Structure 1
């Protein structure tokens, strides 16, 4: 395995972060991986990290890869020790999936020391929603009584089907808040509430976001039409005890550029719904240089830690919209310079409170398409455009996820993307290529564009806030 690579953040004395662990570029590994995968040949396409998130106890980072794998990375006990950093990260668990999944929800009661809490929810095409244990007990052979290698199989399943048919619906977004007794799944024009303890049963509640799907005129102008791509629970839903299920006000976003709020404490009533296209166009007139942030479909909705503001992030966008929910549908401001205008990938951001009382706004951490991670400070304290306070170059490709540890001192970032620009640069360079080079070039030119692709850098990295850098700047 390749060792962690040095970045500008580790070499710059002005950087506020320090690299403490990394997988290295997983697309360049040629040897057998720790999870028993076969060796990778030169020129072969490999999977890359699409998303990363922390478990509830902050001990494990879960990643979703483009090659249909779920990986779990447990943090080293001496992660923050400067003498042993940067650590080399290897997955302690790998779950291969038969179908692709875009949603991964770890249990809100996850505790690494309690194996029965190490649960995740996954939804794949043409399958029910499934619950897996990250560390299943080893199966016992019936012949000699010896234990065999544990196999990951669904422990529970929750059918999500179309009414009056036997067609499975794929959940395009899921939400599993504390205390973990219920979860919400979303698909096109519908939200559904499930009880975790009722395995094999249909949803307890179905909420249609439009009155009817049979005719365009019946849903026109009412609710929001389109595939729901993201869900976010209001931070006070479970903290103040207003809902025993942890489900209160939920913000949903769609690929059709709509945002809706649904109150699950009141049987899922729609509180508000509005389109964001006009708001994104307004940013062009007030942004530096007259260039708006753009956008082509909501990829993430995020509540501020205080619950007063809602952040809306889109694909093919160079910013994040900030709404004050006390004035529904009214744009407060937007975050500038989150460069992703040419990327269809999901770029997830994270928030963290600036102070204990939340009076000083909050921070927003997000990656970009060029591998830079940027931080906006005191968000919510001003109107209009908001530029980043500082940044660092963490990767060489699109940063799909930037997520903060619950304690706020460690940041996890993952990167990866396909490269279509350099699709023919390595043509005929492989050692195992035989035959006429001209014929091979002609065959490659005839391939569809999506097949003529190559890997960009893909890695998972952990960073910690470097307290020494601030002292040096003050001196």
Structure 2
């Protein structure tokens, strides 16, 4: 790998420390699983970070107002509140008008298995504003929304499930979708213009562009683009040609809306597509070190001369690529930042672009087997042996 060409020296200013280093406890029992951070996202005003952990909890971290002030010690980050539903969380999305000064806007939409999609307050998860049924008309069973996104105005949201995306009016609680798009026809069925994808798959990722295009990615490695923030017709579909990945996990648009970046499970590469002109792959960001089934997010940030892509790897490093799409074929990282000791599941930017939040962790970080045959018979049967792991949320000044 060539030497990095960007000189970046992020400074850590806050951390959760060892709080999440203990194994998961459930109903008083130690499960022997590592409480890794799966995902982190900033609120629109940059005051709050909401995370999802392996223990099936959403947690809201309100950042200290003196976060960037010079001090000798790191800020110790603690959850302001948390929420643990009875069934597994499938996805969540923060309200795009989130403003800490107005608690009527501090909203988070979450989808869990076998229950309606729920709109709650991220500062008090017990406060439920609305529920939205997502039901399969044929079976009358709840569908799992594997991906969620609000439209920019916050008046609607899009939910993606198995072979379908559905649009909801936020102002119509207890109501079904206002529109629905079936993605693939059944085998033997008559195809129509509304049935575009070849495979019946889960919608595993969504992202809106600055031009109002909604990109969706599936577990069968297909991409579809919809106009009018996902409320309009399907413009095109295509399949990822590279055989390196096993399903789309992350999508990001360049700030100008020209390039679409696609990340997959078990793939070291991030593919870059020129959507405005050729709708073809124009580059590939390599050297990430992300050949894992664990979901590792990607993010983009505007710069003075374009934009950068940031993504974590299983080595605990975050890689940076300057102006993806500007280089043909393989694009090696322009910076390589050592930030964690475990896989980096998220590296996301504050809306201002000057503060980065990263989180990490990995499964299998605790061993619940009885490794000591001479141990006392009255020892704790749920005792686990900690292995080297880094389950932390960290805030960096960039």
Q: TM-score, normalised by structure 1?
A: 0.75
More helix by percentage: 1
Query: Mind listing any 5+ residue stretches in structure 1 that lack a counterpart?
Result: 1-13, 137-150, 238-248, 282-293, 441-450, 466-475
Q: Which runs of 5+ in 2 are unaligned?
A: 1-6
C-alpha distance in 2 between matches for 1:199 and 1:434: 56
- 1:37-186 superposed matches below 5 A: 44-136=32-124, 152-186=126-160
Q: Structure 2: how far apart are the matches of 1:217 and 1:452? A: 54
Contact (CA 8 Å) 1:418, 1:455: kept in 2 or not?
no
| Structure 2 counterparts to residues 44-443 of structure 1, below 5 A | 44-136=32-124, 152-210=126-184, 212-213=185-186, 215=187, 222-225=196-199, 226-237=201-212, 249-264=213-228, 268-276=232-240, 278=241, 280-281=242-243, 294-341=244-291, 343-355=292-304, 360-419=305-364, 423=367, 427-428=371-372, 434=377
2:374 and 2:154 mapped to 1: Cα distance?
50
1:9-24 correspondence to structure 2 within 5 Å: 16-24=9-17
Please say which of residues 187-196 and 323-332 is displaced more in the overlay: 323-332
Higher RCO (C-alpha under 8 Å, 6+ residues apart): 2
Offset of 1:456 from its aligned partner? 3.0
Residue 267 of structure 1 deviates from its aligned partner by 5.2
Contact 1:26 1:48 survives alignment (8 Å):
no
* Aligned-pair Cα RMSD in Å: 3.2
Shift of the alpha carbon at 1:434?
A: 2.1
Q: Give runs of ≥4 in structure 1 deviating > 6 Å.
A: 37-41, 451-455
Give the secondary-structure state (helix, strand or coil) at the position aligned to 1:419. coil
Count of aligned residue pairs for this structure pair: 388
Task: Please name the residue that 1:448 is paired with.
Answer: none
2:19 to 16, 26, 32: 26
Deviations 1:202-259 (A, max 9, x none): 100011112x33x26656994242111011111132xxxxxxxxxxx21000010111
Structure 1 CA distance for aligned equivalents of residues 147 and 111 of structure 2: 9
Contact 1:64–1:71 under 8 Å retained in 2: yes
TM-score in terms of structure 2 length: 0.89
Q: 1:28/1:172 Cα in 2 relative to 1: closer, same or farther (>3 Å)?
A: closer
The Cα shift of 1:68 comes to 1.3
Hey, what's the Cα distance between the residues in 2 that align with 1:16 and 1:196? Answer: 42
Summarize deviations over 1:106-163 as a string: whole Å, max 9, x none. 1101001111111100001110100111234xxxxxxxxxxxxxx7153210001111
Question: Cα deviation per residue 1:363-408 (whole Å; 9 max; x = unaligned)?
Answer: 0111001111111112222211111111221111111111011111
* Contact 1:349–1:401 (8 Å) recurs in 2: yes
**Structure 1 residues 85 and 46, CA gap change in structure 2 (3 angstroms):** same
